């Protein structure tokens, strides 16, 4: 029997007319023709084989695809085509003989032609009835390659985040709960995934968040993101075993193709060393190097920081100025090194005698300033008197010589809306009165 050419196997579109009225018999007979036309126009490769696997029909898409795969459709049966696509498929087809419907679940096949790039196909095999088998082939090369490239990118990014020490990444849901946990975060936090997945990320923040996020409520974070595009959380984070880490965390939205937010990504960086170094630099800028007390700049910042409660109501403050009496005489008599020792001794006496909430600063030269929060003028006078007695009883030994000094005090209460400078000027005026009155005494500012 002479083999039919591939042209004879191509499904042809229905060429009949629909202008003439059709009988019921004509309509029934035209249905296969209509189906043939649909199969012919389908962009998916479709081929039909007989009961024994001989090729009976295929559409143009199938003819082109098989030709590109180096398969001679006209002279090839179904088992040969199936084995060309993937080993073992022809045996699965044979063992399904007599069974209708889907012969195989959708199979992804990879074929490497003699010439040309690799082709990825999605194969479906089914029997409309026991007498024939139909296969469809979808060319999914573009989709598969895109998925593989995305997977490669994901793996590369995963390797980057896992390899770089001091960084970690977490995927969050809309409520700020950790949904995915990059392995590098286990190394950074010293925790396993079970300890964090399903938990709010910001539960691990161990201090109050700095502005603009005032609490660990993720709603605050989302509000900042809505305005700024991302939110930065610079705070102390709780690690495993009670340890802490200063972490710089940036939280940004993951935007879906439709523009909606599908979740959030948080990138956390361990900045503990940088934080410590920065704090040391700030402390050095705000600290008097000789006495270790706040300097004038440090005094101004700390005093203003405690002037207002969180609710905004001013905190009552009393300012006390202290000046060592006749300090020039100490320098002239014993030398400047001895004078420095006296300054350090007086500073330590003020620091150790003052209350824990009080601010003690070296204002300059032999002058010191104390700021007493939530303190009445009467209590401030008693505290100043106690400080005066401590300094009066102080003795500093330098090179076998004992040096004794006294100090004068000026006390002024800072009004609610008064500036630091105004309070300081009134305390200085009271200090001047103490010196004019004979030194080694406490004077409260009593007005002009």
Each residue's pLDDT tens digit, 211-270: 444 345 788 888 889 899 999 888 888 888 778 888 899 999 988 888 888 899 998 988
The answer to whether residues 224 and 268 belong to one domain is yes
For the cut 70, the answer to whether the pLDDT of residue 26 exceeds it is no
More confident residue, 189 or 208: 189
The answer to whether residues 262 and 198 belong to one domain is yes
Q: Which two tokens stand for residue 373?
A: 């929060």
pLDDT value for 213: 43
The answer to whether residues 71 and 185 belong to one domain is no
pLDDT value for 372: 92
The packing angle between helices 377-392 and 336-353, to 10°, is: 140
pTM of the model: 0.50
Q: Give the whole-number percent of the chain exceeding pLDDT 70.
A: 84
Q: Which two tokens stand for residue 367?
A: 């002058």
Band (pLDDT 50/70/90 cuts) for residue 76 is confident
Classify residue 1: in a domain, yes or no. no
The answer to whether residues 270 and 297 belong to one domain is no
Q: Classify burial at 225, counting beta carbons within 10 Å of its beta carbon; exposed 0-12, middle 13-18, buried 19 or more.
A: middle
Classify residue 155: in a domain, yes or no. no
Average pLDDT of span 295-305? 85
Classify residue 182: in a domain, yes or no. yes
Band (pLDDT 50/70/90 cuts) for residue 348 is very high
The answer to whether residues 211 and 353 belong to one domain is no
For 328, the 3-state DSSP assignment is helix
The answer to whether residues 316 and 211 belong to one domain is no
The two beta strands, 55-58 and 101-111, are unpaired
| 274-290 residues labelled b (16+ CB within 10 A) or e (exposed) | ebeeeeeeeeeebbbee
The answer to whether residues 262 and 342 belong to one domain is no
Mean pLDDT of the chain: 83
DSSP characters over 121-181: EEEEEEEEETTEEEEEEEE-HHHHHHHHHHHHHHHHHHHHHHHSTTEEEEEE-TTSBEEEE
Classify residue 282: in a domain, yes or no. no
Band (pLDDT 50/70/90 cuts) for residue 326 is very high
Q: Which of 275, 305, 338 is the last residue in one of the domains? A: 275
The domain that holds 398 is classified in CATH as 3.30.70.270
Q: Which two tokens stand for residue 42?
A: 């389908």
The answer to whether residues 131 and 205 belong to one domain is no
Band (pLDDT 50/70/90 cuts) for residue 25 is very low
Residue 299 CA to residue 362 CA, distance in Å, equals 9
Domain count for the chain = 3
The domain that holds 263 is classified in CATH as 3.30.450.20
Classify residue 149: in a domain, yes or no. no
- What range defines the domain where residue 323 resides? 290-444
Three-state secondary structure readout of 188-216: HHCCCHHHCCCCEHHHHECCCCCCCCCCC
The answer to whether residues 259 and 297 belong to one domain is no
Residue 357 CA to residue 72 CA, distance in Å, equals 92
The answer to whether residues 170 and 112 belong to one domain is no
The answer to whether residues 269 and 326 belong to one domain is no
pLDDT value for 3: 43
Band (pLDDT 50/70/90 cuts) for residue 12 is very low
The answer to whether residues 240 and 317 belong to one domain is no
Residue 202 CA to residue 58 CA, distance in Å, equals 61
Contact 71, 81 (CB under 8 A): yes
Average pLDDT of span 193-215? 69
Among 67-81, 156-170, 173-187, 350-364, the least confident range? 156-170
Classify residue 280: in a domain, yes or no. no
Classify residue 39: in a domain, yes or no. yes
DSSP-derived letter for residue 365 is T
Per-residue pLDDT tens digits for 126-152: 988 888 899 999 999 898 888 888 888
Classify residue 153: in a domain, yes or no. no
């Amino acid at each position: 029997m002479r083999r039919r050419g591939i042209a004879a196997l191509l499904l042809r579109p229905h060429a009949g007319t629909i202008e003439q009225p059709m009988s019921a018999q004509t309509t029934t007979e035209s249905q296969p023709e209509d189906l043939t036309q649909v199969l012919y126009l389908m962009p998916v490769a479709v081929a039909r084989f007989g009961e024994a696997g001989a090729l009976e029909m295929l559409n143009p898409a199938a003819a082109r695809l098989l030709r590109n795969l180096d398969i001679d459709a006209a002279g090839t049966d179904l088992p040969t085509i199936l084995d060309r696509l993937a080993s073992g498929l022809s045996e699965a087809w044979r063992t399904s003989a007599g069974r209708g419907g889907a012969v195989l679940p959708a199979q992804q096949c990879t074929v490497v032609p003699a010439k040309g790039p690799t082709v990825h196909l999605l194969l479906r095999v089914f029997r409309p009835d026991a007498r024939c088998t139909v296969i469809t082939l979808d060319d999914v090369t573009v989709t598969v390659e895109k998925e593989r490239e995305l997977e490669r990118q994901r793996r590369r990014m995963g390797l980057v985040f896992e390899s770089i020490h001091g960084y970690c990444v977490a995927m969050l849901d809309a409520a700020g709960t950790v949904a995915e946990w990059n392995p590098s975060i286990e190394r950074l936090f010293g925790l396993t995934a079970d300890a964090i997945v399903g938990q709010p990320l910001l539960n691990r923040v161990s201090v109050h968040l700095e502005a603009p996020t005032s609490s660990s409520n993720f709603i605050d974070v989302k509000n900042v993101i809505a305005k700024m595009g991302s939110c930065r959380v610079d705070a102390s984070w709780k690690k495993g075993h009670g340890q802490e880490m200063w972490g710089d965390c940036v939280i940004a939205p993951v935007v879906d193709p439709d523009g909606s937010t599908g979740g959030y990504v948080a990138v956390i960086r361990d900045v503990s060393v940088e934080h410590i170094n920065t704090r040391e630099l700030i402390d050095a800028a705000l600290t008097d190097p000789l006495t270790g007390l706040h300097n004038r700049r440090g005094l101004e910042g700390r005093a203003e920081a405690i002037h207002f409660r969180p609710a905004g109501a001013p905190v009552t403050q009393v300012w006390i100025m202290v000046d060592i009496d006749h300090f020039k005489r100490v320098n002239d008599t014993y030398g400047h090194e001895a004078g420095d020792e006296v300054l350090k001794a007086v500073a330590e006496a003020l620091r150790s005698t003052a209350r824990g909430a009080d601010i003690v600063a070296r204002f300059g030269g032999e002058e010191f300033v104390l700021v007493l929060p939530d303190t009445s003028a009467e209590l401030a006078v008693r505290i100043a008197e106690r400080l005066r007695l401590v300094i009066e009883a102080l003795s500093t030994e330098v090179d076998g010589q004992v040096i004794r000094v006294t100090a004068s005090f000026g006390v002024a209460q800072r009004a609610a809306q008064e500036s630091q400078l105004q309070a300081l000027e009134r305390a200085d005026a009271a200090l001047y009165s103490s010196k004019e009155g004979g030194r080694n005494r406490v004077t409260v500012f009593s007005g002009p």
